[in-house]
Structure 1
Amino acid sequence: MAVTTWMACDGCGSLVYGKRFARELNVCPECGHHSRLGAPERLAQLLDAGSAELLPVAPTLVDPLEFVDDRPYTERLAQARERTGLEDAVLCARGRILGVDVVVAAMDFRFLGGSMGVAVGEAITGAADAAARDRVPLILVTASGGARMQEGIWSLLQMAKTSQALAELDALGVPTISVITDPTYAGVAASFATLTDVIIAEPGARMGFTGPRVIMETIGERLPEGFQTAETLLRCGLIDAIRPRGELRVTLAGLLNQRRSVPAAWSAGALIRRIEELPARDAWQVVRQARDPGRPTALDYIAQIVDGFCELRGDRATGDCPAILGGVGRLEGRPIMIIAHQKGHTTAELIARDYGMAGPDGYRKAARLMRLAEKWRLPVITLIDTPGAHPGVAAEEGGQAIAIAESVRLMSQLRTPTVAVVTGEGGSGGALALAMADRVLCLAGAVYSVISPEGCAAILWRDRAHAPRAAAALRVDARELLRMRVVDGVIPEPAGGAHSDPLLAAELLRHGLRAAFAEVADVPIDELLAARRQRYSEIGRDNHVRA
């Protein structure tokens, strides 16, 4: 007679039927706590059945310091090997995830706390070498307490060894993704785990350089609730996403499939390129239309024209600005990186998104995603809708001017095709930071200016009531922007404005992007960069304004 096995959840203590627990991938159905997995189980869950091929690991020093605490280090190794059936704390394999070829290195916390010694460093480096040889993505599943003390300085230097291996994959353009599981600390967190293109964490997973107990003993402070958890890391801009274990395979395959190019050429689309096709309009009325809260936001457009969008978050340094979002997806079957200002329709949404006014962390996030697009060879689309960069003490102290300057410089040199579209307000340097592209477009109801009309009126006329006069003087509307060759083309809008028919507005945007990419997508990159330099070097010359 079969014996029913019940297990107690490590998170909430609830009893869970063993077979159900296994079906749930060792996730508690009551509280969602993700129990630790061994490396063999992790590979079995991630890789397609029958696709795994374990990678060999070169021989390494076994006990370089002949270390003894209360017993010899060699005895500890022998015990860990007997208990886990592993040679060391990581298992590496070639395989496929939903048909996508990958190399996976999965760490095992059961083996001496997943600590990194020379064998782990060699295995991670070997996995990176295999990914480089095969030109396939490297997936790193981390679980570690840090460096292995019994191997001393040899363990510390594995941080350098594995970091170098990740840098070589960057140079080759090989995608890398980390899956952070609980816990990931110290030498692993400060090397290969956080050097990947994308960092995904399981819910509740903790990651940091120094563990909580050591921190409290060192500085004598009480740590905040949720300290170093995935949820806090996401809010602080240190990881891209949190995914439950059951969604990891689909998420990883979705990200990696974005790199598979469609051979068909971009087809031509519809753009207005002659000022005669645009009626003269009152500039202040256009400004008011561009600010209409019913106007489609970036997320509205993305939902309609981008397939399989996967948002990537955080600047990996200080935060995750809500006013700028970005991620990978497909436009008409072609992989793209899309980065956009996001406002909102309701007052609550506008406040949550800071009215589309990005801080330094927003521009650093955008820059990170642009560099990722360059590495993954994805064209970049930017959607611009902002009154300007966020004004305030925190933004200034965080380096607002520097972040904008570096974003503009990066776009000037980015080795991938770029198309920018002003969809609503294009305000000052906050807009330009995402607008230095190979093709710059605007919607017919959009505006683009050095300053808001109100700001200009307050400075020059000393009265904000002169904003309509300032709007006309600044020539902010689409017709004038096309005449001055600030934009290369104008995307038509529905008769009542984009907000009157958002679905049609999105379709018109799709056609405009198609037309722009038809011109730049297949141009050799050195020629594209030369044309980009020439485009911006000619701004302000006598022949730059249409009659």
Structure 2
Amino acid sequence: MTTTAPRDEQLWSRCTGCSSLLYRKRLRRNLDVCPECGTHARLGAPERLAQLVDPDSFHALPDRAVTVDPIGFVDVLPYPNRLTAARAGTGLDEAVLCGVARIAGYPVVLAVMDFRFLGGSLGCAVGELITRAAERALADRVPLVVVTASGGARMQEGALSLMQMATVSQAIGVLRENGLLTVSVLTDPTYGGVAASFATNTDLVLAESGARMGFAGPRVIRQVTGRPLPEGFQTAEFLLRHGQVDLVVPRRALRGRLAALLAAAAAGRDRSAGLVGTPAGEPGGPAGEPPDGSPAPADGEPADAWDTVRAARHPGRPTTLDYLDSAFDGFVELHGDRLGADCPAVVGGLARLAGRPVMVIGHQKGHTTAELVARNFGMASPAGHRKALRLMRLAARLGLPVVTLVDTPGADPGVGAEEQGQAAAIAENILTMTALPTPVVAVVTGEGGSGGALALAVADRVLMLRHAVYSVISPEGCAAILWPDSAAAPRAARALRLTAPDLSRLGVVDQVVPEPAGGAQADPGAAADLLRRALAANLEPLWDTPVATLVRRRRQRFRRFGAAGVGSPAVTR
């Protein structure tokens, strides 16, 4: 928005996006977002805090910025003169405002940058203030929220400014190591050294609608490459498509999104606190035994295996997003592998199950041909496996259980996936899940195909819907290799023992979840209710189990599948 009078005195503002002339009071009521085109005007740090935190809850940290001129920099003005002018023009001591506050009642430490102060540049004083804010968050055991707005490192402080990238990142790392949530909120603009450090190395990265973020600015990129830039380049929406941010949030919804994330983190901390010490006995029965010690339920005699395969592939069968909408509450989807892609075949994020927060990750297919193609038929790329891995690790740091919903023919078999390290991505997921320090429950809801399925199914409890299938290879693939005749797929399906009752008998599956008559696709609501109850029952004994016990029992569970035979003691020498 452009004006000619001081901001507090103006009556009208002109939108920089659509050039509409807007009544200032109306614009302020709309949180400085143009009601005509949605352009988000830049906010100063005090205005940003007023929008985000509970009334009268913000208290600035006692640390004061000092004047730093380490290299005696002079351009057309001495650097101290520029600092004096910036302080007079903004009313701030430096380009960041730090303090403690509450958001929807949850305590946080905030560091809010202000672009008006020398372009929000990262200098020694700014780095020190944000680092002390992180140290305060560690001392108080509360989350840290950083709102970024910066052109990058401060040139006038030379290499010492560059060092702030490492200084602040190190402080963020300590918080992550201690299981405290760190969140960055990217606002327009966020570039250079800030983008390449604490703006993007937090647990979660949210971007305000229309914000731009990158290492090099668009003008520099055009000059270096001599090529035009893609439409919307480096905008929040561009970053979401390329896996760089978890969420893009309009300003009006930002406070609510932060509150939901803080609520999940608070619940995770409460759960982690309850795991201190060693209980007298281990909750639940031996690995592989249902919570109530009863045999795995089954709804009648097994159908023909090929009929089960066709039921598992039915286009009307509920997908992960369907279950997230019906069996879970308050789902907040998180995006991206932070390395350049956001695989649509894997969805994940925070949700609530029976009133408790969990991290849910699952394969996503679709119902229509267009949806199936857009989601690559639920076949995850390496980026999808890396996204899942990132979310599982985040859940472990926050003390949240992980629920995975498996429904995939297998991992993406394309050339691009191989070039991007598909095998290694699956291997890393499997390895990490064997020792993930938080409860994990996996459910095969449709197709469980090969390593692509196992990449989400190394769990404390493995459940399977009655008309789902889980196999080392598809029946068609098996028939083509061993018969060889693709028409022998029904015969291969029977030979592979891929149905839920088969796998329950083999000990691969801990519990078979019944489905409504006609399958989950016949009554998705009833299927969701059955799934919710099964998940809650299987998670209950895991909630308060010490981490060491969880990991040991999980490893014992998979150790049973060795050459010694299922259910037999391991061979020792």
TM-score (normalised: structure 1): 0.96
Give how far 1:543 is off. 4.9
Instruction: Choose which of 482, 485, 507 in structure 2 pairs with 1:460.
Output: 482
Give how far 1:236 is off. 0.2
Counterpart in 2 of 1:390? 412
Q: Segments of 4+ in structure 1 off by > 6 A?
A: 262-272
2 CA distance for matches of 1:250 and 1:274? 41
One-letter amino acid of the structure 2 residue matched with residue 142 of structure 1:
T
Pair 1:139 & 2:145 matched: yes
Counterpart in 2 of 1:399? 421
Pair 1:256 & 2:262 matched: yes
1 CA distance for matches of 2:21 and 2:377? 47
Deviations 1:183-208 (A, max 9, x none): 10010001111011111111111101
Counterpart in 2 of 1:160? 166
Kept after mapping to 2: 8 A contact 1:297/1:344: yes
Kept after mapping to 2: 8 A contact 1:271/1:489: no
Secondary structure of 1:87's aligned partner: coil
**Residues 76-115 of structure 1 mapped to structure 2, 5 A cutoff:** 76-115=82-121
Give how far 1:273 is off. 2.9
Pair 1:429 & 2:451 matched: yes
Kept after mapping to 2: 8 A contact 1:201/1:243: yes
Secondary structure of 1:192's aligned partner: coil
**Residues 190-205 of structure 1 mapped to structure 2, 5 A cutoff:** 190-205=196-211
Kept after mapping to 2: 8 A contact 1:440/1:488: yes
2 CA distance for matches of 1:50 and 1:42? 14
**Residues 269-280 of structure 1 mapped to structure 2, 5 A cutoff:** 273-274=295-296, 278-280=300-302
Kept after mapping to 2: 8 A contact 1:57/1:122: no
Give how far 1:61 is off. 5.5
Give how far 1:304 is off. 1.2
1 CA distance for matches of 2:475 and 2:41? 56
Change (3 A) 1:58 1:172: farther
Deviations 1:9-44 (A, max 9, x none): 121111011000111111111111111100111111
Counterpart in 2 of 1:208? 214
Secondary structure of 1:140's aligned partner: strand
Give how far 1:56 is off. 2.4
Q: CA RMSD in A?
A: 1.9
Change (3 A) 1:271 1:428: farther
Kept after mapping to 2: 8 A contact 1:93/1:103: yes
Change (3 A) 1:213 1:497: same
One-letter amino acid of the structure 2 residue matched with residue 107 of structure 1:
M
Counterpart in 1 of 2:544? 522
Kept after mapping to 1: 8 A contact 2:291/2:541: no
Change (3 A) 1:276 1:381: closer
Kept after mapping to 2: 8 A contact 1:270/1:512: no
Give how far 1:48 is off. 0.8
Counterpart in 2 of 1:339? 361
Give how far 1:391 is off. 1.2
One-letter amino acid of the structure 2 residue matched with residue 67 of structure 1:
F
2 CA distance for matches of 1:384 and 1:418? 13
Secondary structure of 1:194's aligned partner: coil
Q: Which runs of 5+ in 2 are unaligned?
A: 1-8, 276-282, 285-289, 569-573
2 CA distance for matches of 1:275 and 1:521? 23
2 CA distance for matches of 1:50 and 1:276? 57
2 CA distance for matches of 1:382 and 1:271? 23
Give how far 1:57 is off. 2.4
Give how far 1:520 is off. 2.1
One-letter amino acid of the structure 2 residue matched with residue 446 of structure 1:
A
Secondary structure of 2:515's aligned partner: coil
**Residues 458-537 of structure 1 mapped to structure 2, 5 A cutoff:** 458-537=480-559
One-letter amino acid of the structure 1 residue matched with residue 33 of structure 2:
V
Report the identity percentage. 60
Counterpart in 1 of 2:313? 291
Counterpart in 1 of 2:30? 24
Secondary structure of 2:199's aligned partner: helix
2 CA distance for matches of 1:153 and 1:518? 53
Q: Which moved more, 1:509-518 or 1:71-80?
A: 509-518
Deviations 1:152-210 (A, max 9, x none): 01100000100100000011111011110011001000111101111111111110111
Q: Which moved more, 1:224-233 or 1:254-263?
A: 254-263
Kept after mapping to 1: 8 A contact 2:297/2:514: no
Change (3 A) 1:269 1:346: farther
Change (3 A) 1:52 1:345: same
Kept after mapping to 2: 8 A contact 1:273/1:488: no
Pair 1:54 & 2:60 matched: yes
One-letter amino acid of the structure 1 residue matched with residue 112 of structure 2:
A
TM-score (normalised: structure 2): 0.92
Give how far 1:540 is off. 3.6
Deviations 1:430-451 (A, max 9, x none): 0000000011010000000000
One-letter amino acid of the structure 1 residue matched with residue 104 of structure 2:
L
Kept after mapping to 1: 8 A contact 2:64/2:93: no
Q: Which runs of 5+ in 1 are unaligned?
A: none
Counterpart in 1 of 2:157? 151
Counterpart in 1 of 2:571? none
2 CA distance for matches of 1:332 and 1:54? 38
**Residues 302-341 of structure 1 mapped to structure 2, 5 A cutoff:** 302-341=324-363
Deviations 1:209-232 (A, max 9, x none): 111111122222221111111111
2 CA distance for matches of 1:158 and 1:274? 56
Pair 1:72 & 2:94 matched: no
Give how far 1:259 is off. 2.7
Instruction: Choose which of 177, 184, 201 in structure 1 pairs with 2:183.
Output: 177
Give how far 1:508 is off. 0.6
Kept after mapping to 1: 8 A contact 2:309/2:469: yes
1 CA distance for matches of 2:398 and 2:503? 33
Instruction: Choose which of 197, 206, 217 in structure 1 pairs with 2:223.
Output: 217
Kept after mapping to 2: 8 A contact 1:275/1:482: no
2 CA distance for matches of 1:147 and 1:425? 50
Deviations 1:54-78 (A, max 9, x none): 0122555611111101110111111
